[in-house]
Amino acid sequence: MFRKKEKDRKDMVKPGRRHIDSNREIGFITYLFIAIFLVMLGYLGYFTQVKSKNVINNTYNKRQALLESRLIRGDILSREGNILATTKSDNDGGHYRNYPYRNTFAHIVGYSTHGVLGIESMENFTLLTCDANIASRVSNDLAGYKNHGDNVYTTLNTKMQEAAYDAMDDRRGAVVAMNVKTGEILCVVSKPDFDPNEVIGRWDRLNADTENSPLLNRAFLGSYPPGSTFKIVTALEYLKEHGGNTSDYGFECKGSFEYKGSVINCFNETSHGWVNFDDSFAQSCNSSFANISSTLDKKQFESTIGELLFNRELPLPFKYSMAYSDIGAESSMDDLLQTGIGQGRTTISPVHMLMITSAIANDGILMKPYVVSEIQNADGGTISRTRVREYGRIIEEQYTKSLQKMMRQVVVNGTAKRLIDTKGYSISGKTGSAEYSSNKSLSHAWFTGFAGADDPEIAVTVIVEGGGSGGAVAAPIAKRVFDAYFN
C-alpha cells in the first residue's frame, strides 16, 4: 500500500516537471537563436563597414562593371593637385581612362583595366563611389547624366617623381622616397615600365614579357640581396651587444677575411688597411664586417633582424615582398658571415629598406607609410583624410644616434662622397653592391639614405639592377631626388 501511494505521488509530480523542463528547453533554444541573430547582425555590420570595400575592389566582382556603367570614375591627383589619372569622353559618347604623365607614374598609379593595378586598384571602391551633394546627384539622374566618382588625392610629389624617373633613365630598378616624420610616400619609380594609356592594346605583350617584367612594381614587389646596406643591421647588432661602445674595435684589412674555412672578400678586393668601427662602415669594408659578424650572438642577431620586420608582415597598404633572413642559433659560421655583409640568403624589397632608413632618421620610430592623403567628392568637399600614425619604435634611440653619425660619415669620408656637394641640406646614407649570381663581378647597386643631418625630413632608397657600385651609380640618382625636394 505504501509503495502504491509513493508511486501515485511520483506520477502526480511528473507532469509539472515535464512542463518546467519543456519551458527550459524552449527558453534555451530561444536565447540560442537570439544569440545567433545578434552575431549575424554584428557580422553584417562589420562586413558592410569594413569588408565591403575589399569585396567590391576584387577584380572578379561583377558589381564593378555595374558601377562603371552608372558613374564616371573619379580622378587621381598628386599632392599638388596635378591630375595623374582621369576619365575622358570619346567621340562615340563612351569613356576611357587617361594618364597625362604616361609612364612616369605607371606602377604606383596603375591602370583600371585587366585586373587593375596600383592606386587604381587600392581605391577602386572610392573612385566608383559618388558622395557628391544629393541635389546635384538627383539633378544629374533626372537629366540622364552620369555622376562623378570621388577623387583621390595622393601624397606623391610630382617634381620628385619626375626627377627619379629621369635619373633612372633606361636602367632597371626602383626608386622610392618617404617623409620620415609622417610616413607619406613621396615618389615611386620602377623600371622597366609601361604606358598605362596603352595597356588595353598591348596587354598580351606586356604580360608575356617575362624577361623585363614591365608590369612588376620593383619598389614594393622586388626582392633583392641587400648587400652592404645590410651593414646598417649588423652595425646595430654590434652596438646593442656592446652597449653602444665601439671605441675598442680595430681591424687590419688586407682585402679579404678568412675564418673557419669561410672567405669574405672586399669589393674589388680593395685593401682598406687599419680601420676602426666607423671607418669600416664608411668604407663598407666587407672583411672588417665579416670579422664583426663572427663575434655576434646568433640568437640575438636573429632577434634584432626580426625587430626590423624581416620575416614579418609590414604596415603597408599595398602588396609587397616580405623580407627574408634565415639567421638563427643553428646557423653555420659561413651563413653568419654572409648575412653580416648582406649576402647569403637574405633578401629585402626597396620599400622595406626605406622603412628601416626612415626609422633611423626618425630616432628609431617608424611611421606607418601611406600614399592616399585625402578623398574629396566631385564638389571639392572632403570625405576623409588619412591620419598620420606611428607604427612604433623598432630601434632604441641611443643606437639611432650612432647610426645617424655613421651614415653621415659615409658621405663625408666614405663610399658616397659624390653626395657631399649639396645646397641648403646634407645627406646621410649607406651604399651597397650586392652580388646576385655565381659571377662575382656582377652586382646590384644600392643606396639608402636621408636628409638633412640635424633634423631629417625625407628618406630615399635606390636600387639599380646590375649597376655595380652603389656609390657610383645609385647614390647620384638619390641626390637628384633629394635636390627635387629641397631646391
Give tens-digit pLDDT for 76-100: 999 999 999 999 988 887 889 999 9
pTM (two decimals): 0.86
Residue 79 lies in a domain: no
pLDDT for 51 beyond 60 = no
Do the beta carbons of residue 481 and residue 187 sit within 8 Å?
yes
Residue 32 lies in a domain: yes
Before 94, cis peptide (omega within 30)?
no
Domain boundary, last residue among 57, 72, 90? 57
Residue 136 lies in a domain: no
**What value does the mean pLDDT of the chain take?**
89
211: buried, middle or exposed (CB in 10 Å: 19+, 13-18, 0-12)? exposed
Residue 470 lies in a domain: yes
Do the beta carbons of residue 251 and residue 229 sit within 8 Å?
no
Before 369, cis peptide (omega within 30)?
no
Give, rounded to a whole angstrom, the gap between the first and last alpha carbons of the chain.
112
Given pLDDT bands bounded at 50, 70 and 90, which one contains residue 2? very low
pLDDT for 15 beyond 80 = no
pLDDT for 128 beyond 80 = yes
Residue 417 lies in a domain: yes
Point out which residues pair with 259 in neighbouring strands.
262
The Cα 376–Cα 152 span in angstroms is: 7
Give tens-digit pLDDT for 245-271: 999 999 999 999 999 888 999 987 889
Domain boundary, last residue among 57, 76, 104? 57
pLDDT for 52 beyond 70 = no
The Cα 228–Cα 301 span in angstroms is: 17
428-446 burial string, b = 16+ CB within 10 Å, else e? Answer: bbbbbbbbeeeeeeebbbb
> Across residues 450-477, what is the average pLDDT?
94
Do the beta carbons of residue 371 and residue 317 sit within 8 Å?
yes
Given pLDDT bands bounded at 50, 70 and 90, which one contains residue 69? low
Q: What is the dihedral of CA 236, 240, 246, 249, to 10 degrees?
A: -90
409: buried, middle or exposed (CB in 10 Å: 19+, 13-18, 0-12)? middle
**Count of structural domains within the chain:** 2
The Cα 248–Cα 71 span in angstroms is: 68
Give tens-digit pLDDT for 410-434: 999 999 999 999 989 999 999 999 9
pLDDT for 59 beyond 60 = no
Point out which residues pair with 174 in neighbouring strands.
190, 463
Give tens-digit pLDDT for 352-410: 999 999 999 999 999 999 999 999 999 899 999 999 999 999 999 999 999 999 999 99
Supply the pLDDT for residue 24.
Answer: 73
Q: Maximum distance among all alpha carbons in the chain?
A: 117
Which residue is associated with the grid cell 659560421? 333
pLDDT for 62 beyond 60 = no
Sign for the pseudo-dihedral over CA of 179, 182, 183, 185: negative
Domain boundary, last residue among 57, 90, 105? 57
> Across residues 458-477, what is the average pLDDT?
96
Do the beta carbons of residue 474 and residue 410 sit within 8 Å?
no
Give tens-digit pLDDT for 148-167: 899 999 999 999 999 999 99
pLDDT for 5 beyond 60 = no
Residue 180 phi, psi (nearest 5): -70, -20
The Cα 106–Cα 100 span in angstroms is: 11
pLDDT for 291 beyond 90 = yes
Give tens-digit pLDDT for 216-227: 999 999 999 999
Give tens-digit pLDDT for 303-335: 999 999 999 999 998 999 999 999 999 999 999
The domain in which residue 291 lies consists of 221-486
CATH of the domain at 383: 3.40.710.10
Residue 351 lies in a domain: yes
Which residue is associated with the grid cell 685593401? 271
Given pLDDT bands bounded at 50, 70 and 90, which one contains residue 272? very high
Supply the pLDDT for residue 146.
Answer: 84
Alpha helices in 259-324 (DSSP H): 277-282, 286-294, 298-307
* Three-state DSSP class for residue 182: coil
CA 179 remoteness from chain centre? 13
**Nearby residues of 103 by Cβ (< 8 Å), 6 or more positions away:** 165, 193, 194, 195, 196
Residues in the chain: 487
* Three-state DSSP class for residue 400: helix
Residue 46 lies in a domain: yes
Alpha carbon separation from 177 to 40, 294, 420 (Å, rounded): 44, 34, 19
